[in-house]
Structure 1
Amino acid sequence: MRLQGKLAIVTAAASGMGRAGVERFVREGAQVAAIDIDPAALKALAAEFEGVHTIAADLATEQGALDSIDQGVAALGGADILWAHAGMPGPASVEDLDMTAYRKAIDLNITSAALGAGRVAPHMRKRGGGSIIFTSSISGLVGSMMSPIYSAAKFGVVGLGKSLALALAADGIRVNVVCPGLADTPMKLGFTGRSGDPAEAAANEAKVVGAVPMGRLVKPGEVADAALWLASDEASFVTGVALPVDGGFTAR
């Protein structure tokens, strides 16, 4: 098993890609602390995966981001892996920008990642190293017409990951970023269906799929598989990478 004996914290862990990550980390031998804003979804997660520690927290707040990592470390007795996966679409336009929505999107997409990494790094250092994985997006590699604030934040996540890879390499802490394409998850409609019109959502999804050389959306498990590899010793000499999981979208 690739993560035997490892202690892993996963944020936004109760649905979609994060939940798939919990499943894979547990299957590969890790002890897992799962953080999410949805207590009911966490309860269902704990019922399915025995031994997973669940922590309800709002990672868009400073206290929630910091305290949840502290709780995860305390529950596990340390940390070897952090998959900082939390994110949200944010406002669709900068015209008449809703500053409350803007700040929440920035706080959840990038601030929570920075706070989580800063909180967990000393614990990884004590254990001789570790792996931090951030979730960005293809919108962190190329601009997004539909989600400019999300894109700005996710470009920041890529920069944060590359910078921390340099800063933490001497401590044996690897820092990498996964960059999914549009995924078939509950968040999908936050990008394609902002107006609430199902026909518009379907048309937007068709546009995205049409631009993907492999001709489909990414599956949550495919992103989780990438995170699993980056977390494992199979990626022991891999740091500072922004890895697209996008069916070739960014290869153009």
Structure 2
Amino acid sequence: MRLEGKLAIVTAAASGMGRAGVERFVREGARVAAIDIDMAALSALVDTFGVDTVFPIRADLSREDDARDSIESAVAALGGADILWAHAGMPGPASVEDLDIAAYRKAIDLNVTSATIGAGQVIRHMRARGGGSIVFTSSVSGLVGSMMSPIYSAAKWAVVGLTKSLALALAPDNIRVNVVCPGLADTPMKVGFTGRSGDPAEAAANEAKLMAAVPMGRLVQAGEVADAVIWLSSNEASFVTGVALPVDGGFTAR
């Protein structure tokens, strides 16, 4: 097992990629603090993996206090922290015209601010254990522009910049910082990108348009992104830091 005895924190852990990550962290030998707003889904994780392996923490990570307190609660539950996967995010507004500023701020808070706070809170705990691995979730939209999701794209570019900057700053502490950049994923959040209007036909057309630009011709699966996070968190990636890793079927290779 690649992560035997490691202490991992996963945000947005209750569904989609986050849940797949919890499953893989456990399979690789880690104990996991799972942070999410959905307590019922967190309880289901505990039922699946056991009370001594997964520690549920309910938090609304768009709120500053919750973003800070949830990390401290996770560290207390685990007895330390070796790994943080800061995965929380949301699509945000589809246009900058007539911008709903409250929706904009929530998207920035969840995508960027919660990740920044989470990293800031966990660093001292990783230093105390001699190092660690921080993995953020960005998107292909953090590497190339998105005509459908400009606010999301702006937020995810910020996460890539945060990754590279922290990788430089924290290398002397043996804390590696990387970011995964998935393409359109087969998860519950997909419709937030392709079907904001609520029209199924529009959602299908948007998905087809996006898939036409993917050389491998399909959606990324949640487990494929989680597998990349496991590798970045493991000793197999011990000399890898500051990397924005696309998991996108070749979308950004053009």
- Pairwise TM-score range, normalised by the shorter structure: over 0.9
Q: Aligned equivalents of 2:55 and 2:77: distance in 1?
A: 7
Q: Provide the aligned C-alpha RMSD in A.
A: 0.4
Match of 2:228 among 226, 241, 245: 226
> Cα deviation per residue 1:9-28 (whole Å; 9 max; x = unaligned)?
00000000000000000000
The answer for the alignment partner of 1:79 in structure 2 is 81
The answer for the alignment partner of 1:93 in structure 2 is 95
Q: Aligned equivalents of 2:46 and 2:143: distance in 1?
A: 34
In structure 2, give the amino acid aligned to 1:55: I
In structure 1, give the amino acid aligned to 2:3: L
The answer for the alignment partner of 1:13 in structure 2 is 13
SS in 1 for 2:116: helix
Structure 2: gaps (5+ residues): none
Match of 1:180 among 182, 206, 223: 182
Q: Aligned equivalents of 1:233 and 1:194: distance in 2?
A: 40
Match of 2:194 among 186, 192, 199: 192
Aligned positions, number? 252
SS in 1 for 2:225: helix
SS in 1 for 2:73: helix
Q: Aligned equivalents of 2:147 and 2:40: distance in 1?
A: 34
> Cα deviation per residue 1:117-173 (whole Å; 9 max; x = unaligned)?
000000000000000000000000000000000000000000000000000000000
Q: Aligned equivalents of 1:59 and 1:48: distance in 2?
A: 24
TM-superposed deviation, 1:40? 1.1
SS in 2 for 1:160: helix
Query: Superposition pairs for residues 118-197 of structure 1, below 5 Å?
Result: 118-197=120-199
The answer for the alignment partner of 2:206 in structure 1 is 204
Query: Superposition pairs for residues 17-56 of structure 1, below 5 Å?
Result: 17-50=17-50, 51-56=53-58
TM-score in terms of structure 2 length: 0.99
Deviating 4+ runs (over 3 angstroms): none
TM-score in terms of structure 1 length: 1.00
SS in 1 for 2:8: strand
The answer for the alignment partner of 2:216 in structure 1 is 214
